[in-house]
Chains A and B, each alone.
Chain A
Amino acid sequence: MTMRWRPGPIFIILAIAAFIPLLDQVLPAKMQLSEAIRGVFLYAILALGLNVVTGYAGLLNLGIAAFMAIGAYTFGILTCEIYPFQLGFWPAIALTIPIGALAGFILGAPTLGLRGDYLAIVTLGFGEIVQDVLKNLDVVTKGTQGINPLPAPNFGGGEWTAEDEYKWYYLFFVLLVLTVLAIRNLERSRLGRAWFSIREDEIASRSMGIRVERIKMIAFATAAAIAAFAGGLSASVLSSTGEPSNYDFQISILALCIVIVGGIGSIAGVLVGALVMVGLNSIVLVKATAWMAAHGIGGQGNVLLSPNNWKYLIFGLALILAVRLKPNGLLPPRIERAHK
């Protein structure tokens, strides 16, 4: 079967993303995009993980941030100089993946027999419990202080600093591309098909010999692994795990909104969704605030005239509009996707 290769939406989005730093060279300093886009990449990786469990296998997971926290603290404990492990960036970031998967397995094993809403409630509770554990396990996690400082990646030329913006950008870009590739490979395989079949009709898949529990477990652990990976990256770029409440329900909901707005079960959709939901906050609103302040509109005193404060308003509006006008998301998955 020789098919002429045509660039798909995923390829086009990633190709455009690869040139953002070049665009920054010509844009005025205040309009620079790459730092904000880097944040979009991070949430895109997190949402890609959530997309595996919620989009492909149809299991609503409201606690994905907990796995992000587990990844961040794993990275923190393994790298920070207050503990004896002191691994470098690469081994530590690689270890967040199996540890995240293990955490997913531990949560999944007793709960995956639950149906729909009940599972969602359990994952929600798990998200809260992880935060509380991290807050109170002072000896290990340093409580609300968080673990810091954490090392940045090192390619022999000394550690990166915040100045090395483009290095960070391309590191995140490459890791996002690798995540996309990995998920795409799983999606277009026997496993991905089994995930879809469970989402569509669990009884029918079971009667076709699909081992539903096992397939669900793999989805759960894969999602947890990817979320933990995103958590490790975020800890590395911030040089701190931050405090436990950085990984609260808001983050889980943001990831879920990215998946819903972008298109449930679609990789390209998740990428676009991350751009819309995160980019709106960290690019459009921030730049608009800066612009208005520079031109003397709004400013101090009037909170309503500062676009930064519109964040949740626009967030809700985007969600309502998406569900009303594009119920399948901005870039819904295509039927033909997996027959190649």
Chain B
Amino acid sequence: MSVLRADGVTVRFGGLVAVQDVRFAVEQGEIYAVIGPNGAGKTTLFNAVTGIYAPTEGRVEFNGKEQVEPLTVRIIARLLATFFVVGVSTVIGLNIETIWTAVIIDNYKFGELFPWGHGIECFFSTLWNLPPAKSILPFLLGGGIGAGAAAVSWSRGRRAPDHIARSGVARTFQNIRLFNELSLVQNVLVGMDYRMETGFWSALFRLPKFYAERSQCHAAARELLQFVGLGDRADQAAGSLPYGFRRRLEIARALAGKPSIILLDEPAAGMNPSEIVALMALIRRVRDAGTTVVLIEHHMRLVMGVSDRILVLQYGRQIAEGIPEEIRVNPKIIEAYLGSENHG
């Protein structure tokens, strides 16, 4: 089964077709490259795969499943609960003066004990005796708006990048997006976050499992920084890193969640030749450690050097796919990059 499969993916922005009917499948343990001239739609394709854009048409599957959050009974129950809670709150909020008077003011004599049972009875009887315009109507209206909004926001978030990332699809960005004010370790730890289990209360009260997880994760983060060759800079701020190292940090951060597939968007941009050689070795090591790699790259020596297979895009369409040797001699690709010989 393919780790990643794109089936007729099309992305349109208004009238502009950025990616059209792209199909490919990446196998487990492969290094798969996507190349093409500037504006060919490579990054848009990545964004469609990772959920930053929704594909206008077509589907993207990871390990045979489309990464859309399923509509479960729990979610329906949650929507119904939202309807009820927001509806009841609307009714109470709208009639708060009537209710407060009937329940508290009318029953409470200063200095005497408050009859709680009677107060609660009054509360419900007041609610029941409200005229429909002040009870059932606001209940339906408020509940409807609340549940409707919750449903809309849920369906928008169904294929959100966080959901896709949590299912083991990591990425880096063409224009590096690190957390500059955090240290290198912290950057990696953010990538590890969805694997962590301790929550709000164990952090607030510093429960033993908080400490256990913290030391475990910090050790793992340092090890990962070691792996990409940034071990001795672990505690400095990401914003103070030289450019070439930033891409390595992005790779470490992406690897932190132990993804099954990692998408690298122009990892070699701005690197000098010796840095590129080191990057090639790193990409191979990532693959050898069991992570499937998909990369966008312009640097041909890197692409031809590490890729198992290559996909070529031009004007949003795929014009070729194959092993490096085929791509290297394919006239269509040479034309795409260098232009055609027969003008006019």
Contacts and interface: CB of A to CB of B under 8 A. Distances in A.
* A and B are interacting partners: yes
B149 interface: yes
A82 interface: yes
A218 B199 CA distance: 11
Interface in A34-92: 81-84
Interface residues of A, number: 39
Contacts of A218: 200
B108 A190 contact: no
Nearest to B109: A84
Given A82-B110, A140-B96, A209-B194, A336 B183 contact: yes
Interface string A180-222: 0010011001111110110011011111111111000010000
Interface of B: 50, 52, 96-97, 100-101, 104-105, 107-108, 110, 114, 119, 149, 153, 157, 160-162, 165-166, 170-171, 173, 177-183, 185-186, 189-191, 193-194, 196, 198-200, 203-206, 210, 214-215, 218, 235-237, 253-254, 256-257
Nearest to A205: B190
A22 interface: no
B87 to A, nearest CB: 14
A12 interface: no
B185 A339 contact: yes
13 contacts: A110-B149, A192-B203, A193-B186, A194-B193, A196-B181, A201-B177, A205-B179, A206-B161, A207-B162, A207-B173, A211-B162, A335-B183, A335-B237
Contact of A197 (B179, B183, B256): B179
Contacts of B110: 81-82
A236 B110 CA distance: 21
Contacts of B215: 1
Contact of B96 (A113, A137, A189, A204): A137
B172 to A, nearest CB: 9
Contact of B190 (A1, A84, A197, A336): A197
A189 B210 contact: yes
A189 B97 CA distance: 44
Contacts of A205: 179, 190
A129 interface: no
Contact of B157 (A1, A139, A213): A213
B185 A84 contact: no
